[in-house]
Amino acid sequence: MLSRMGPRSVLFVTLDSCRYDTFLVADAPHMKAVGELHRALAPANFTFASHAAMFVGFTPSVSSRREPYVNPKWARLFKLDEAGFPGRAPPFFSLNGRTIIEGFKNKGYAALGTGALGWFDRATPVGRWLTQDFDEFFFPGSTYRIDKQLKWALSRLQRQDGRPTFLFLNIGETHVPYYYRNAPWKTNNPCEPFGAHNDARECRRRQIACIEHVDAMLAELLDLFSAATILLCSDHGDCWGEDGLWEHGFTHPAVMEVPLLIRLGQAS
């Protein structure tokens, strides 16, 4: 059985395409226990751009709050030296490197990651670029295999033997067409740009069910990091017919509003 990670470790989870409003109403006790739920704005409107920004310290923000980490303009959770506005208060993690991943490695951390979306496929040039700084990275080959991702992550954590670890996990079940393995609905997509058969009610129903499925799957991992720092958020949301728009990849409040939860462990 795995021991809990020490307080210096970090778990960074992104629920791909998860809207704030669906997360708010979903029955997700394990994720919601991480910390206060904030309605934040994502740093970009699609997966690659948002993760590229977050990997250099620009995490989702609530710009109206003068609160460290929730508002990175006040103080950053992850701050790269000489990169970006330093904030009004000191960062929680001050890091030296081209990305926060390299920064944690430079502090002696193991840097592990797994991403469900094709942007993280290391067989592609763009996937190699986005994941190049991790010690190990796992792409499951399917957007809807959180089971494989967690199996891989737990096996790699077992090897660390007390070493502080930065673990990144991008989850695909909340991405269109909102599906988890063996879900009781077909994988047809109810949210397609310019689609003729889109269904906002079905989108909402499915994404809520996917959040709840993911929450149950994440229970063990969240418990392992219960003494550590956890950042749990989405990279962007989706439009479900607002102003006649569907999906993401453009700027709209429904795309930019995301859930944000933070629990602080120990800075290093």
- Provide the pLDDT for residue 32: 98
Q: For the chain, what is the radius of gyration of the CA atoms? A: 17
pLDDT at 85 over 80: no
Residue 42: pLDDT band with limits 50, 70, 90: very high
pLDDT (tens digit per residue) in 50-67: 999 999 999 999 999 999
| Helical axes 200-224 vs 146-158, angle rounded to 10° | 10
CB atoms near residue 251 (< 10 Å): 10
Q: Percentage of residues in the chain with pLDDT exceeding 70?
A: 100
Instruction: Provide the 8-state DSSP code for 6.
Output: P
- Provide the pLDDT for residue 56: 96
- Provide the pLDDT for residue 84: 77
CB within 8 Å of 137: residues ≥ 6 apart: 112, 113, 114, 115, 120, 122, 131
- Provide the pLDDT for residue 83: 76
Phi/psi zone of residue 55: left (φ > 0), alpha (ψ -120 to 50 degrees), beta?
Answer: alpha
- Provide the pLDDT for residue 2: 82
Residue 48: pLDDT band with limits 50, 70, 90: very high
Instruction: Please write down the HEC assignment for all residues of 74-113.
Output: CCCCEEECCCCCCCCCCCCEEECCCCHHHHHHHCCCEEEE
Residue 87: pLDDT band with limits 50, 70, 90: confident
Residue type, 143: T
pLDDT (tens digit per residue) in 220-267: 999 999 999 999 999 999 999 999 999 999 999 999 999 999 999 999
- Provide the pLDDT for residue 268: 76
Residue the block writes with tokens 């394990």: 30
Domains assigned to the chain: 10-263 (3.40.720.10)
Compute the distance between CA of residue 78 and CA of residue 75 in angstroms, rounded to an integer: 9
pLDDT at 1 over 90: no
